[in-house]
Amino acid sequence: MVKRVLVLGMIGLVLAGGLARAETKKAFDARMRWWRDAKFGMFIHWGPYAVLGGVYKGQNSAAAEWIMNEDNIPAAEYEEYARQFNPVQFNARAWVDLAKAGGVKYIIFTSKHHDGFAMWDSKVSGYDIAEFTPFKRDVLKELAEACKQAGIRLGFYYSIMDWHHPDAAGERFAAYRDAYLKPQLQELLTGYGKVGVLWFDGEWIDDWSEGQGAELYSFVRRLQPEIIVNNRVGKGRNGMQGMSLDKSSAGDFGTPEQEILAQGSAAMDWEACMTTNDSWGYKKADNNWKSPEALIHNLIDIAAKGGNYLLNLGPDAEGLIPEAGQERFREIGKWLKVNGAAIYGTRPLPEYREGENIRYTRSLDGKTIYATVLEWPGKSLRLKYIEPKKKSKVYLLGRKSALTWKANSRGEVVITLPALLQRAANRPCRHAWVFKITGRQLPVAAAPLISTASKTGVVRSLFTDSEQVTISAPSDGAEVHYTLDGRTPSQNSPVYTAPITLTEAAEIQAVALEKGKVISPVTTAQFSRTTRIKRLTLEKSPSVKYPGWGELGLVDGRQGGTDYHESDWIGFEGESLDATIDLGEQKSISSIRLSCLEDQNSWIFLPSSIKLLTSTDGATFVQTAEWKGETSPAGTAATRETALIIMPKSCRYLRILASNVGVCPSWHKGAGGKAWLFIDEIIIN
Ligand code: H79
């Protein structure tokens, strides 16, 4: 699946943040405090689907917890599997012990998944583990007890969508909601002590609405005022994406699924829920476990972006957690024992990283910075971003004595790593290492924000004739100084007072000063000018996750590389590219090339066809050329293809239609799901 990356401007964004309801920011912050500090949670998907384990009638299914839907198992037949659910090995203590060993601070447990089966003794229905199965026990009660003893917060996943209840879709939905869903939630919120989180899901069904979500949110908060509720309570999510588009929509935090945001900030609450192998529920055939190192790196990356990591396990039908999953949690816990200070209770910095292999967090009070390196740096480590004070000390977590460091002429920190540590066996841990830098040295102030009329927080922009740029100061008392030639701004650079009109390419750098002292990191934005075309319009919007550099990025003379994470690529989810280009005047064109990405393992496919239409008046278009799709071998990954259309023609307007294949083909594990089309660069000659 595409590792979804969302590029977000630091402002203008979004979030579910408790702002729309009658709660002050202070009260909201207090309620969110434990969750923001926790950083690491364990998701547990467990229900009757574990009985099937991803196998239906002897066939491996594409699904695990989705098997009822995926394999069209009628409710009456699914019930037969549910009746066999007898997880005699279930031991809440053992699960919670594992959570403890893994260093998680909270557990989110599927009280009821889409299949509608309740994992507690529900009086509202007989379709639950205590009544419907030979097992007879109340799993939630036992888990709640074990969590309480261990000091781990417990939260409940609850699916609004319900494939079992006859009223849960269609005209009688309100009856299901009022006589079933809400009474069940009432049980969950009154019978199991303090519930940390209500984690809704399945809210995308047509019967659900933002209004019902807002009402349900209040209902839940009334029963447990301190509880934290995810944004899937309402309809705020942008499609199946994790983050809410509108901050007035219900819910306290965003829920990117199988996705780490490209950029977080201290101003948004988000939690990446991700699987340890490829499935949420237990699936016998799924042995595709992520390496402990990859999981630890995810945790570090997420914490650096201010998010939480909710990592999943799917126990089997006996009640046992697969050994491979257990090992991974233990390995993460081992790492956290040494390095937890860099994760728990931390907050993100304005710059979350340096290069690919260094991630930053800071202590809540801002007095300590943690630089976590994902790869052993060798004999010395150079940190460009932070400026230590003379009295600052640098430690490698897990080692007592301070390390030697000095500031080089550029004000960067250079830390010397003793010879002893060059041997892996002598290091305090594996997988990633934390350098702790003490003594309030950080540029924790937010950086100035560079914006254009169309975009807040521009990093790179292309314009045709001229562009008006505004720069805003990160705080009220601050003065912004800037340069236009790529040099580092200082006290002596011009002070920003009014919007700047660019008519030529420029690199703007801006910094905030207070009382003549630099108080922020430098913000840089690149502006390029393009004259090759007059206008490019897209009929269909690209995905907000992969916006590229906007439509002009398609003709900026730079082609995307082989990695779809690169910001050059524009991605279309299930949609096609339909671009109209106005060349500004009648021109003679000899060829058009379109550069596309193919990365089938990430659900990215070449277009099925590319059509080219031309026009002299912008009204009547005639088809001029067509490229028929090629088929690559199944599984082709990360290859780039360039479709060439030779087309001697004189015209002013071009219309390019590159058709998305639409859905993932049948051989693909994502069969039936939306396929991606990635384009960067339309090359006109
Ligand atoms: O509870 C977990 C998932 O069951 C649920 N949310 C997380 C937390 C979820 N709902 N929808 N989705 C995830 C995305 C849908 C994936 C699917 Fe499929 C694609 C369902 C059917 C096609 C996966 C792949 C299951 C069968 C094929």
Find residue 335's DSSP bridge partners.
none
**Ligand 1 closest atom vs CA 280:** 2
Q: Measuring from atom 3 of ligand 1, which residue has the nearest CA? A: 280
- The pLDDT, as a whole number, for residue 19 is 38
Among the listed residues 372, 369, 389, the one whose alpha carbon sits nearest the alpha carbon of residue 335:
372
Question: DSSP code of 27?
Answer: H
226 and 122: one domain? yes
| Average pLDDT rounded to a whole number, residues 370-389 | 90
Residue 30 lies in a domain: yes
Residue 273: CB within 6 Å of ligand 1?
yes
DSSP letter assigned to residue 393: -
* Binding site membership of 63 for ligand 1 (Cβ less than 6 Å): yes
Residues present in the chain in total: 685
DSSP labels, 403-425: BPEEE-TTS-EEEE--GGGGSGG
Q: Which of 467, 500, 529 is the last residue of a domain?
A: 529
Q: What is the CATH number of the domain that holds 370?
A: 2.60.40.1180
**pLDDT exceeds cutoff 80 at 377:** yes
CATH number, domain containing residue 475: 2.60.40
- 96 with 107: CB under 8 angstroms? yes
- Is 271's C-beta closer than 6 angstroms to any atom of ligand 1? no
Within a domain: residue 45?
Answer: yes
Work out which ligand 1 atom sits closest to the CA atom of 65. Answer: 4
From the CA of 45, give the closest atom in ligand 1.
Answer: 1
Domain boundary among the residues 460, 494, 529 is at: 529
Which of the four pLDDT bands, split at 50, 70 and 90, describes residue 638? low
- What mean pLDDT do residues 388-417 have? 89
Tally the domains of the chain.
4
Give the amino acid at 615. Answer: S
Ligand 1 atom closest to residue 159's alpha carbon, by position in its atom list = 1
Looking at every residue in the chain, the average pLDDT score rounds to 89
Task: List, for residues 510-530, the tens digit of each pLDDT value.
Answer: 998 888 887 777 888 988 876
Q: Looking at residue 1, what is its pLDDT?
A: 34
Last residue within a domain, chosen from 529, 557, 581: 529
pLDDT, residue 7, reads: 32
Q: How far is the CA of 109 from the centre of ligand 1 (A)?
A: 16
Report how far ligand 1's centroid is from the alpha carbon of 241 (Å): 13
Q: What pLDDT does residue 17 have?
A: 39
Note the pLDDT tens digit of each residue in 149-207: 999 999 999 999 999 999 999 999 999 999 999 999 999 999 999 999 999 999 999 99
Nearest Cα to Cα of residue 429 among 341, 346, 334, 361: 334
Q: Which helix (H) or strand (E) holds 283?
A: none
Residue 545 predicted with pLDDT over 60: yes
CATH of the domain at 165: 3.20.20.80
pLDDT at 648: 77
Place of tokens 């590792």: 3
Residue nearest atom 10 in ligand 1 by C-alpha distance: 202
The verdict on the CB of residue 66 being under 6 Å from ligand 1 is yes
Task: With H, G, I as helix, E, B as strand and everything else as coil, classify residue 91.
Answer: coil
Residues of the domain holding 397: 353-438
Listed in sequence order, the residues at least 6 apart from 4 whose beta carbon sits closer than 8 Å to its beta carbon are 241, 242, 256, 258, 259, 545
- Minimum-distance ligand 1 atom for the alpha carbon of 255: 8
- Do residues 604 and 2 touch, judged by C-beta distance below 8 A? yes
d(CA 148, CA 92): 11
| Separation between Cα atoms, residue 513 and residue 491, nearest integer Å | 8
Ligand 1 mean position, distance from CA 257 (Å): 10
Residues 264 and 198 grouped into a single domain: yes
Is 259 a pocket residue for ligand 1 (Cβ < 6 Å)? Answer: no
For ligand 1, atom 6: residue with the closest CA = 201
Q: CB-hemisphere CA count at 13 Å for 25? A: 2
Residue of the CA atom closest to atom 23 of ligand 1 = 63
290 C-alpha vs ligand 1 centroid, how far in Å?
19
| Residue 33, H or E segment | helix 25-38
Is any atom of ligand 1 closer than 6 Å to the C-beta of 158? no
**Residue 43 Cβ < 6 Å to ligand 1:** no
Residue 68 Cβ inside 6 Å of ligand 1? The answer reads: no
Q: For residue 69, which atom of ligand 1 is closest to its CA?
A: 21
- Assess contact for 65 and 281: CB atoms under 8 A: yes
Phi and psi at residue 450, in whole multiples of 5°? -105, 125
Domain presence at residue 238: yes
Residue nearest to atom 21 of ligand 1 (CA): 70
Q: Are residues 156 and 244 in the same domain?
A: yes
Query: Which tokens sit at 615?
Result: 């026009």
**Two tokens, residue 104:** 């998680």
**Domain containing residue 595: CATH number:** 2.60.120.1190
Which of helix, strand or coil describes residue 384? coil
Distance 114 CA to ligand 1 centre (A): 10
**Is residue 46 situated within a structural domain?**
yes
Q: Is 645 in the pocket of ligand 1 (CB under 6 A)?
A: no
Q: Is there an atom of ligand 1 within 6 Å of 280 CB?
A: yes
Q: CA–CA separation, 464 vs 584, rounded Å?
A: 11
Identify whether residues 126 and 183 lie together within a single domain. Answer: yes
The b/e string for 196-205 (b: 16+ C-beta within 10 A; e otherwise) is bbbbbbbbee
pLDDT greater than 80 at residue 6: no
Give the start-end residues of each E strand in 551-638.
570-573, 577-598, 609-615, 622-628
Contact 263, 26 (CB under 8 A): no
pLDDT category, 138, cuts 50, 70, 90?
A: very high
- Of the chain, the percentage scoring pLDDT greater than 70 comes to 94
Please list, in sequence order, all residues whose beta carbon lies within 8 angstroms of the beta carbon of residue 58, skipping any fewer than 6 positions away. none
Give the other-Cβ count within 10 Å of 38's Cβ.
22
For residue 665, the SS3 value is coil
Is a pLDDT exceeding 60 seen at residue 580?
A: yes
Is the CB–ligand 1 distance for residue 673 below 6 Å? yes
Whether residue 91 sits in one domain with residue 206: yes
Residue 347 lies in a domain: no
- HEC string of 163-180 equals CCCCCCCCCCHHHHHHHH
One domain for residues 287 and 157: yes
Interval 530-540 mean pLDDT? 82
Q: pLDDT value at position 18?
A: 39
Q: Are 681 and 462 in contact (CB under 8 A)?
A: no
CA angle, 288 then 146 then 95, to 5°: 15
**pLDDT tier at 128 (50, 70, 90 boundaries)?**
very high
Atom of ligand 1 nearest to the CA of 113: 1
Question: Is 199's C-beta closer than 6 angstroms to any atom of ligand 1?
Answer: no
Are 369 and 496 part of one and the same domain? no
Together in a domain, 431 and 456? no
Specify whether 430 is located in the same domain as 289: no
- Mean pLDDT is lowest, of 60-64, 334-338, 521-525, for 521-525
Do 560 and 419 fall into the same domain? no
pLDDT value of residue 13: 26
| CA-proximal residue: ligand 1, atom 14 (nearest) | 240
Q: Which helix (H) or strand (E) holds 190?
A: helix 182-190
161 CB near ligand 1 (under 6 Å): no
Nearest CA to ligand 1 atom 26: 63
Q: Which of 66, 286, 308 to mutate to test the pocket of ligand 1 (most atoms within 8 A of CB)?
A: 66
Q: Is the CB of 115 under 6 A from ligand 1?
A: no
> pLDDT for 237-293, tens place per residue?
877 788 887 778 899 999 999 999 988 777 789 999 999 999 999 999 999 999 999
Judge if 515 and 539 occupy the same domain: no
- How confident is the model at residue 548, as a pLDDT? 84
How far is the C-alpha of 240 from the C-alpha of 232, rounded, in Å? 10
CA distance 498 to 266: 28
- For the chain, the C-alpha Rg in angstroms (whole number) is 27
Alpha carbon distance 71, 363 (integer Å):
49
Cα 66 to averaged position of ligand 1 atoms, centre (Å): 6
443 within some domain: no
Residue indicated by tokens 């977000």? 8
Distance CA 74, CA 44 (A): 25
Ligand 1 contact via 62 beta carbon (within 6 Å): yes
DSSP state string for 297-343: HHHHHHHHTT-EEEEEE---TTSPPPHHHHHHHHHHHHHHHHHGGGT
- pLDDT-wise least confident of 73-82, 123-132, 541-550: 541-550
> From atom 18 of ligand 1, which residue's Cα is the shortest distance away?
63
Which residue did the predictor score with more confidence, 473 or 2?
Answer: 473
Which atom of ligand 1 is nearest to 110's Cα? 1
- Determine if ligand 1 sits within 6 Å of the CB of residue 56: no
- Closest Cα to atom 11, ligand 1: which residue? 202
Residue 71 Cβ inside 6 Å of ligand 1? The answer reads no
In a domain, 635, yes or no: yes
**Is there a domain that residue 570 lies in?**
yes
> Do 514 and 656 fall into the same domain?
no
Q: Average pLDDT in the 432-461 region?
A: 79
